[in-house]
């Protein structure tokens, strides 16, 4: 066991604190996504929303998250990773609680927009914080650990819905989301800014440099592959809970809300392992080709998942879909962090990730719209093509420099 977790036990106190701060923020971010997905049916009925409009609610959230991610990425470069992380968590925590107080579609959408702004900022600031604190030889595992908290939050959201909604209704589910505000206060007090950022904080490198020369090419590839991957993820996982709970006659799998929550928790076991295993493989071999391999296998699994009807087979395939269809996100954070300089890392990661979110915002709406005509099983298969496209774009990635270096800093682009 020491061989597996030795990298964690030998890390410094600050490295552990940083890892915990980013992981908790990402976990609670994920919890909110799951809360919305599982109460979607109830919200649809009470607010008289069509499937397309329900998907549009998530699409608006993603667009807001893109704006928030780009803005908070710039903020993190100028004023600090920790400060950006804390404010973003506070924003989406409060907005999540407000969702439970809404009574109209317009009110609900406004709260989802505010939530998206905070949700978008969390990833860029948290990923940059961890990448700049951990040494290169363990960076893949550390960022994979952060990503794995998404699976924990997703399962936690499913557990909250299973325990709260049957007794108190869907509004009470969102009130639980206020909890991250308390954690945000702890984040600011217990975590130090990375030394790499402190050294570079006075460097006023124009953001426009991100779109020129070598960095411009890296930005184009990162944003493109992430756009396709996020399109696949949001298109698939926004609708999976609804797919499982829909009546069999309507093309679903007929599970109860509790059954759907339990199945989702099982699926997140696979997702968690997918994140963690990615980090070990990427640190040992190649970030790039591990990332591509995950995407290709995910593309093959989605059609099988969408059309299998046997409950036992569904239970077996689900964790595999989670393993490969989500685990590749560990790769994006480490790949992107090693392609851009410290002075622009927050802005670069915020833009590369959230430009993809803008494109992916169309996925929930598109899947919902197509499902009304062709059925949800066929609509979900659209995401398989998106996984393949992401893998194709990723072949253009250049290998990050000095992956195996024991240095605690990230090598600048072009460094030996």
pLDDT given for residue 180 in this prediction: 66
Q: Where do the domains of the chain lie, and which CATH numbers do they carry?
A: 13-192+209-394 (1.20.1250.20)
Sign of CA dihedral 126, 129, 134, 140: positive
pLDDT value at position 188? 65
Would the pTM of this model clear 0.85, i.e. be above it? no
Structure tokens, 122: 């969390």
How is 264-276 classified by DSSP, letter by letter?
HHHHHHHHHHHHH
CB crowding 245-268: b at 16 or more within 10 Å, else e: bbeeeebbbebebeebbbbbbebb
Report H helices in 80-104.
Answer: 81-99
Report the number of secondary-structure helices (H) and strands (E) in the chain: 19, 0
Rounded to the nearest 5°, which phi and psi values hold at 10? Answer: -85, 0
Nearest to 176 by CA among 282, 74, 99: 99
Q: Which of 38, 30, 27 is closest to 161 using CA atoms? A: 38
Q: Which residues have a Cβ under 8 Å from the Cβ of 59 and sit 6 or more positions away?
A: 361, 362, 363, 364, 365
* pLDDT score recorded for residue 150: 79
- pLDDT given at position 153: 83
Return the structure tokens found at 158: 């499913």
DSSP state of 250: G
So what's the pLDDT on residue 267?
82
The tally of CA atoms less than 13 A away on the side-chain side of residue 4 is 4
Q: Give the chain's residues under pLDDT 50.
A: 1, 401-409, 411-416
CA-derived radius of gyration, the chain: 20
| Angle 146-40-301 from CA coordinates, rounded to 5° | 55
Please tell me the number of Cα atoms within 13 Å of 255 on its side-chain side: 23
Question: Are 161 and 43 within 8 A, CB to CB?
Answer: no
Taking the C-alpha atoms of residue 140 and residue 125, their distance in angstroms, rounded to an integer, is 17
Q: Output the pLDDT for position 231.
A: 93
The token pair at 396 is 């253009």
Whole-number Å distance between alpha carbons of 67 and 40: 24
CA 68, CA 86: separation in Å to the nearest integer? Answer: 13
HSE-CB at 328 with a 13 A cutoff on CA atoms is: 28
Predicted pLDDT of residue 242: 77
CB atoms within 10 A of CB 189: 8
Q: Using an 8 Å Cβ cutoff, are 349 and 369 in contact?
A: no
Q: Which residues contact 311 (CB under 8 A, 6 or more apart)?
A: 253
Structure-token pair, residue 236: 């698939």
pLDDT attached to residue 324: 95
What is the residue-wise DSSP string for 203-261? ----GGGGGSHHHHHHHHHHHHHHHHHHHHHHHHHTTHHHHHHS-GGGTS----HHHHH
């Amino acid at each position: 066991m020491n061989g597996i977790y030795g990298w964690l036990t030998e890390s410094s106190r600050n490295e552990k604190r940083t890892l915990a701060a980013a992981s908790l923020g990402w976990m609670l971010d994920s919890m909110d996504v799951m809360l919305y997905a599982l109460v979607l049916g109830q919200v649809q009925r009470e607010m008289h929303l069509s499937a397309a409009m329900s998907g549009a609610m998530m699409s608006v959230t993603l667009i807001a998250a893109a704006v928030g991610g780009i803005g908070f990425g710039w903020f993190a470069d100028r004023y600090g990773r920790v400060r950006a992380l804390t404010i973003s968590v506070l924003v989406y925590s409060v907005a999540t609680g407000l969702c439970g107080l809404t009574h109209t579609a317009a009110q609900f959408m406004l709260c989802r927009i505010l939530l998206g702004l905070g949700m978008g900022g969390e990833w860029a600031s948290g990923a940059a914080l961890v990448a700049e604190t951990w040494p290169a030889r363990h960076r893949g595992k550390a960022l994979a650990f952060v990503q794995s908290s998404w699976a924990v939050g997703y399962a936690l959201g499913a557990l909250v819905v299973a325990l709260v909604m049957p007794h108190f209704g869907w509004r009470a589910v969102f009130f639980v989301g206020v909890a991250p505000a308390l954690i945000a206060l702890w984040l600011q007090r217990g975590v130090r800014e990375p030394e790499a950022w402190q050294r570079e904080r006075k460097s006023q490198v124009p953001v426009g440099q991100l779109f020129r020369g070598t960095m411009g090419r890296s930005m184009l590839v990162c944003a493109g592959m992430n756009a396709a991957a996020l399109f696949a993820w949001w298109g698939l996982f926004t609708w999976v809970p609804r797919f499982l709970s829909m009546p069999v006659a309507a093309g679903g799998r007929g599970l109860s809300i509790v059954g759907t929550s339990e199945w989702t928790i099982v699926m997140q076991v696979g997702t968690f392992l997918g994140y963690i295993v990615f980090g070990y493989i990427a640190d040992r071999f190649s970030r790039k080709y591990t990332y591509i391999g995950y995407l290709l296998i995910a593309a093959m699994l989605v059609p099988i998942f969408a059309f299998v009807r046997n409950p036992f087979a569904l239970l077996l395939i689900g964790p595999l879909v989670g393993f490969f269809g989500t685990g590749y996100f560990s790769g994006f954070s480490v790949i992107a962090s090693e392609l851009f300089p410290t002075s622009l890392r927050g802005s670069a990661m915020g833009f590369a990730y959230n430009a993809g979110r803008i494109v992916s915002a169309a996925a929930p709406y598109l899947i919902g719209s197509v499902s009304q005509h062709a059925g949800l099983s066929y609509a979900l298969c659209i995401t398989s093509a998106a996984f393949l496209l992401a893998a194709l774009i990723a072949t253009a990635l250049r290998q990050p420099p000095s992956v195996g270096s024991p240095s605690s800093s990230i090598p600048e682009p072009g460094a030996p």
